[in-house]
Every structure is written in structure tokens, then in C-alpha cells.
Structure 1
């Protein structure tokens, strides 16, 4: 069984670039205020979701391991 992730978007810094929507189609959506939301906040580990987080221009996407809360992205320094 693979890892499960908790995906969150910090809407206080999201600028609505929609990079996440384009990089991980079906995993993110923009609301009427042009801010991103994960379609499924709890999801199986997914390379496209990680790619979306890594390429967010303001690093608004956070991914943690479901259950433990261990950071997947951004990584701990």
C-alpha cells in the first residue's frame, strides 16, 4: 500500500496563477475568488501533485504524510 497525503493550499498567499491546475489536472481547482483548492485534500501520493507544489510560484501548496504529519513538501530544512 502506498503513502497517503494531506494536501493544503495556503489561501493567504495563493495568487491564483493556476499552475497547479495545469500541472495536476483534476487535483486542484480555482474558486470564484481565483484561489486554488485541492479537489481531494486526502489523496494517494501522486507525482503530478508533488510537481504542482514544487512549481507553485509562491509555494502556497503544502503536502504532508497523512497520519504522521511528516512534511513531503516543502521539505524540512
Structure 2
């Protein structure tokens, strides 16, 4: 057994722990935004993949997903 130091395998110039996780920048632009409601100031916040989970108005970090507009019907038995 040789006593060499451990080396992290290379991934073609990308770090395995980078923020983009192998996605190109064009994918981040083309992804649809999802609208959330701020838990502090009730502002509507549109976020895309990779955005910080933070209200753009007050900086609060608790966001709630908006309720759907489509009709949901359950069958009672």
C-alpha cells in the first residue's frame, strides 16, 4: 500500500459541489418561475431554480407556495 494523500477526482473542470450542479446557464433562464407568498409581509415573490429563498422586499426567509387556482374535487364515500 502506498501512502499517498487522497485526491478529489476531477469532473472536467467542474467541482462536484458547485452551485449549478452541471446545468448550463440557459437552463436556469428557461425554467419557469414559481410564485410564493412571504410569511412576513405577504408580498408575492417569483423564484426560479437556483434563486435564494428570500423575500425581495423584507428579506424574510419563510415563503409559502400559493394555492392553486384550478378546481379540486374529492369524492365522498
TM bin (shorter chain):
under 0.3
TM-score (norm. length: structure 1): 0.26
- Could you say which structure has the larger radius of gyration? 2
TM-score (norm. length: structure 2): 0.26
Report which of the two has the higher share of helix.
Answer: 1
Where relative contact order (Cα < 8 A, 6+ residues apart) is larger, the structure is: 1
Report which of the two has the higher share of strand.
Answer: 1
